[in-house]
Homo-oligomer: A and B are copies of this chain.
């Protein structure tokens, strides 16, 4: 029970008895009758109101236990106009990032006493996300977190009519929606600077799906680091987050190397693609980091145990979950207070952290 209330701080201490009066599941009136009070007093006890006599509370509690009464959340929601449910919209939860973010949001929501209703979409499209949002709204969620990989998606959401509390995760800025994101630019910047400081003349970049904001931001950080160092900026190679695309683009870099181009360091958009790149390099007989250094992004659990272990960038998804929930609850609060002034400009940035491991080293002489 201790555990229970730790995990579900807002969950009721539910009893296990079952003793419906006439086969029906018991309602407040049943409890009231058994306890010899009015249903309203039962309501007061259930909701922990003050000003109920100790002895009455006990009697009601006993009746509740005896009948195995559970408060009907639907009826409650109808009259309070609060469902206690939040919505989450996610894309491709096969990917490590979205899956982790979802998990972080779920925990934060539960701790805040909210249920989570989830939609996960396969194809990235404004139609899809709007449909998902409408779907959730008509289920009466109090607000939504959208893990939205593209600016256009966030824009589509921001254009939704009616004052619906919405928060975007990784949704870029200036979209008129509050946003929480990891500082992709800084993370990429750190990674690339790390490689430059090791002595590489430049750093090539295999990016994720170029349509995704995360990808875009990492390109920005990569480019900025190169420009700051005054080194040449090669054309980034667009992938799609998959190991396969990492492999193929890795091969194309190998080919360019064979043609004489100096490729000694590759910053890859995520760890999965980095695995593909490692494979391509290995097949070409190139040593990592002896011949080529590789840095990934995400810090998947296996990164440390690849051969070589992968230098990568860690993102605190739990923190992202917490922050986005805090923002959303803020939205809900202000909306409830009638102040229609949207806090659309709110923006919380969670830092990324470079994890240096075995796949990055000085360039060959």
Contact = CB atoms under 8 A, between A and B. Distances in A.
A246 interface: yes
Interface in A125-177: 125, 127-128, 130-132, 134-135, 137-140, 160-162
A279 B93 CA distance: 27
Interface string A277-315: 011001000000000000000000110111101000000
Given A12-B138, A78-B74, A140-B72, A7 B278 contact: no
A135 B85 CA distance: 13
A221 interface: no
A120 interface: yes
Given A78-B78, A244-B305, A272-B301, A68 B131 contact: no
Query: Chain copies in the assembly?
Result: 2
B119 A110 contact: yes
State which size class the interface on A falls in: 35 or more
A279 B305 contact: yes
A203 interface: no
A46 to B, nearest CB: 11
A24 B292 CA distance: 63
Given A117-B117, A242-B301, A302-B275, A138 B68 contact: no
Nearest to A134: B14
A246 B74 CA distance: 47
Given A247-B305, A302-B243, A11 B78 contact: no
A73 B309 CA distance: 51
Interface in A95-111: 99-100, 102-103, 106-107, 110
The 4 A-B pairs of least Cβ separation, nearest first, read A4-B131, A243-B305, A243-B302, A14-B134
